[in-house]
Amino acid sequence: MRPELMTGNRAAAAAAKLARVDYVPAYPITPQTEIIETIADWAREGTMDAKFVQLESEHSMMTAAGAAALTGARVFTATSSQGLLYAMEMLYNISGWRAPMVLMNVSRALAAPIVLEPDHNDVLSARDSGFLQLHSETCQEVADLVLLAYRVAEDKRVMLPAIVNLDGFYLSFTREKVSLPEQAEVDRFLPPYDPPHPIRATRPVSKGSAVMEGYLYSYFRYNMHAAALRAKEAFSEAARDFQDLFGRAYGPVEGYRLDDAEYVLVMSNSFTTLGRQAVNRVREQGVKAGLLKLRMVRPFPTEEVAALLKGRKVDAVFDQNLSPGLGGILYPEIAASLYHVRDRPGALLPVVGGLGGKQLTSDEMCQVFERMRGVDVGGERPEPMFLMRDEELTKAERAVATAGVHG
Amino acid sequence: MSTATKFKTLKDIPKEEYIAPGNTMCAGCGGILAVRIFHKALGPNVAWVNAAGCMTISVSYPLSPLKSNWLYTAFASAPAGAQGIRDALDVLMAKGKLQKSEDLKVVVVTGDGAAYDIGFQSTAGAIQRDLDFYYLCYDNEAYGNTGFQMSSSTPYASSSKTTPVTAAYPYGNTGRKKDLFEAWRAMKAPYVATLSNSHGVDFLRKVEKGEGIRGPKLYIDFAACPTGWGFDPKYSIEVEKLAVQTGVWPLKESVDGVVRHTYVPRALTPVREYLRTQERYGHLFKPVEKPEAIATIQRSVNDYWAKVAAEESTQATPAPA
């Protein structure tokens, strides 16, 4: 179909419609709200054949979502930030129920202090929940990953729910060119949802049964882990079909100018675009720079990361999140992927930036490459970088002075 | 009740059983008995939606005592689970993906901890959305499954693990029991009723009546808890009956907001008779009787029935306070 301009939020809603979802339980929160408003419009106009219901909290919204998936409906919903945390208990339940569904998370940093713009502490707080996670860089990717997420989540080898992440503001409210596929082709790509044991009158089932013994609990959790790992295979197959039908290729990771790269920056989500710019700029200065984008965060693409980062002089991990007292959340996951690699990179530089949507410039990203080149390979562990420009620091200090200091 | 009913005497209780014997609940549990009677009234096609509580343990993998569907959700959101099942059934039937014969009655079953406290918000949401479902709260007036701590359903002067009797707190719980019936009624639920397992015909008729009403149908069952309340399990029905006869547990219903008491004791038995059957009130009698606390409870019961008399032209003779 001819590309049209649309926001990331609208792309998400459009993909849900193309996926022929049956049920959309909803609850508003910035910057996600446009998704559910769009679907509410379509459901009430009758242009989307889905039941839309507004709940009284994200916790209830996710409970209804999971229960409906167990009853055999294809379910879609969306949240952000505090909403994801408020629903967190249900994320663990829904994956434990093995109820596939797709949840959009429109990233927004977490209070306190309350803020509207994105970082990834919200979505990464769900990293251990059993939800699969796919993260998008562009509005096109938002739409495509929703369709891929349904295929993988509902795959009988997987049967797990999925989160598709997009950054608030940078994607949610930014219009980009998006090619939406034709309905008939989507129908070929994504068959109707056919759960093996739905809640039914003629064949009653027990869902969410208690287990009173640790060995049973362990058995089911190991099963979930195995299913999540099988999602890689399911994703690869789905991505092949997707490319055949729609022409766009998606892997769990995506390399940029990696062939001869000596310095590789690992990134995810919308700021990756700035990372690519920086790669191009430092390449013009003769630096052999490259970039590795994480698209799949759960299951974690350990082998792909190791294969593409090994043998480099220095790699850096850009974390748009912060675990106070540790540092970036993805850094240790990348480091663990590389530990058993014979030819692992000479150093792994931790970088934290973009918290609360703090703007990044490609200058700053170029400085990251500068720092990578200055790392003492084989020497001390490199000091982490916390990105903040001088004028930002001055402004922050001025605000603190304005607020005043008492006592 | 004036409307036609198939339940006239206890002999009319349906013979079909939907709960297998040998489940994991305590002996004399009023909660599982309520589920059993409720299920008999509704028939086979039921999806139970549960919040954390005693009943959760009754479906322990790989076993279930139920012949019907079961979903354990979480402590706070069983009504939202009912919403998901109800909506999914409706949308799948509307799209022709599901036969009408697969339709289910969706029933939330929780204890008072979920109904009165942590799940109050999600219940309010379901009522406001006019969800077509049943809510059966088995009210044992405390967090029973965790070992009997106070909930907002715990009555004044009951002891519990978190309202222990000490020199500074000689009566145990200082708070009042939340009036969930009135809270649910205030939210415009079309049908709200109280139940007691000791009054089976009244119980069955109320479920039957609910079946004829679309929207939220909410029931609070007085569920005797021998383990938490401290009495011999063989007296569960007797204790429940005493709660009704003393007027502590009024049997009533609200249809579109209009309240009617479905059983009015001719003369209230003194609450003392009820309180002394249970160890949770033991401190009111041992080592010495505490007549002022017992009188406080009696007065609140008498006040309640005096108000009923004024509003419904019925008369329950008060017991001396």
Task: Tally DSSP H helices, then E strands, for chain A.
Answer: 14, 16
- Which residues of chain B neighbour A53 with C-beta distances below 8 Å? 83, 87, 129
A 61-120 near B (Cβ less than 8 A): 61, 63-73, 89-90, 93
Q: Are B85 and A68 an interchain contact pair (Cβ–Cβ within 8 Å)?
A: yes
Q: In this structure, are strands B251-255 and B258-263 parallel, antiparallel, or unpaired?
A: antiparallel
Q: Is the pLDDT of residue A198 over 70?
A: yes
pLDDT for res B21: 87
Q: Which of B85, B87, B91 sits opposite A199 (nearest CB)?
A: B85
Q: Are B81 and A50 an interchain contact pair (Cβ–Cβ within 8 Å)?
A: no
Q: How far is B118 from chain A (nearest CA, A)?
A: 12
DSSP H or E segment with residue A70 = helix A58-71
Domain A253-393: state its class. Answer: alpha beta
- Which domains, from first to last, does chain B contain? 10-266 (3.40.50.970)
Higher local confidence (pLDDT), B170 or A406: B170
* Percentage, residues of chain A above pLDDT 90: 98
Q: Is A357 exposed, middle or buried, given 0-12, 13-18 or 19+ CB atoms closer than 10 A?
A: buried
DSSP H or E segment with residue A11 = helix A8-18
- What average pLDDT does this structure show over A291-296? 98
Q: Closest Cα to residue A105, out of A321, A252, A331?
A: A321
Tokens of A190: 């994504």
Measuring CA to CA, how many Å separate B169 from each of A25, B165, B192, B279, B286?
A: 47, 5, 35, 16, 14
DSSP H or E segment with residue B209 = helix B200-211
Q: Which of A22, A60, A200 sits opposite B91 (nearest CB)?
A: A22
CA quadruple B225, B229, B231, B236: dihedral sign: negative
Contact (Cβ atoms closer than 8 angstroms) between residue A299 and residue A229: yes
**Coil, helix or strand at residue A251:** coil
pLDDT for res B23: 85
Q: Are A210 and B84 an interchain contact pair (Cβ–Cβ within 8 Å)?
A: no
3-state SS record for B56-111: HHHCECCCCCECCEEEECCCCCHHHHHHHHHHHHHHHHHCCCCCHHHCCEEEEEEE
- Which residues of chain B neighbour A200 with C-beta distances below 8 Å? 69, 102, 104
Q: Are A23 and B91 an interchain contact pair (Cβ–Cβ within 8 Å)?
A: yes
Measured from the Cβ of residue A259, the count of other Cβ atoms closer than 10 Å reads 7
Model ipTM? 0.97
Q: Closest Cα to residue B162, out of B140, B177, B178, B144?
A: B144
Do the domains A253-393 and A4-193+207-246 match in fold? Answer: yes
Q: Closest Cα to residue A230, out of A298, A180, A142?
A: A298
Q: In this structure, are strands A162-167 and A102-107 parallel, antiparallel, or unpaired?
A: parallel
C-alpha B234: how far from chain center? 20
Contact (Cβ atoms closer than 8 angstroms) between residue A233 and residue A299: no
> Long-range contacts for A173-176 (Cβ within 8 Å, ≥24 apart)?
A173/A7, A173/A8, A173/A9, A173/A31, A173/A34, A174/A7, A174/A8, A174/A139, A175/A5, A175/A6, A175/A7, A175/A139, A176/A5, A176/A6, A176/A8, A176/A138, A176/A139, A176/A140
Q: Are A61 and B79 an interchain contact pair (Cβ–Cβ within 8 Å)?
A: no
Q: Is the pLDDT of residue A407 over 90?
A: no
Q: pLDDT tens for residues A276-285?
A: 999 999 999 9
In degrees, to the nearest 5, what angle opens at C-alpha B288 toward C-alphas B282 and B290? Answer: 75
Q: Closest Cα to residue B139, out of B95, B178, B83, B102?
A: B178
Query: What residue ranges of chain B have pLDDT lower than 50?
Result: 1
Q: Are B80 and A204 an interchain contact pair (Cβ–Cβ within 8 Å)?
A: no
CA quadruple B193, B194, B196, B197: dihedral sign: positive
DSSP H or E segment with residue B207 = helix B200-211
Q: CA nearest A55 in B: which residue?
A: B125
- Token look-up 């003779």 returns B317
- Interchain CB contact of A211 with B (< 8 Å): yes
C-alpha span between A382 and A375 (Å, rounded): 6
**Coil, helix or strand at residue B262:** strand
What contacts A145, CB < 8 A, 6 or more positions away? A134, A136, A164, A250, A295
The one-letter amino acid code at A322 reads L
What's the whole-model pTM score?
0.97
Q: Is the pLDDT of residue A1 over 80?
A: no
**Coil, helix or strand at residue A10:** helix
Determine the CATH number of domain A4-193+207-246. Answer: 3.40.50.970
Q: pLDDT tens for residues A16-49?
A: 999 999 999 999 999 999 999 999 999 999 999 9
What ranges do the domains of chain A cover? 4-193+207-246, 253-393
CA quadruple A301, A303, A304, A308: dihedral sign: positive
Q: Identify the band that residue A378 occupies on the pLDDT scale cut at 50, 70 and 90.
A: confident
Q: Are A65 and B84 an interchain contact pair (Cβ–Cβ within 8 Å)?
A: yes
CB pairs under 8 A between A and B: 159
C-alpha span between B119 and B116 (Å, rounded): 7
C-alpha span between B152 and A17 (Å, rounded): 44
Angle between helices B236-245 and B30-42 (to 10 degrees): 80
Tokens of A213: 């013994």
Q: How far is A178 from chain B (nearest CA, A)?
A: 30
3-state SS record for A325-342: CCECCHHHHHHHHHCCCC
Q: pLDDT tens for residues A257-269?
A: 999 999 999 999 9
DSSP H or E segment with residue B226 = helix B226-229
Contact (Cβ atoms closer than 8 angstroms) between residue A140 and residue A13: no
CA quadruple A197, A201, A205, A209: dihedral sign: positive
In degrees, to the nearest 5, what angle opens at C-alpha B208 toward C-alphas B217 and B53? Answer: 50
- Which residues of chain B neighbour A59 with C-beta distances below 8 Å? 74, 76-77, 80, 122
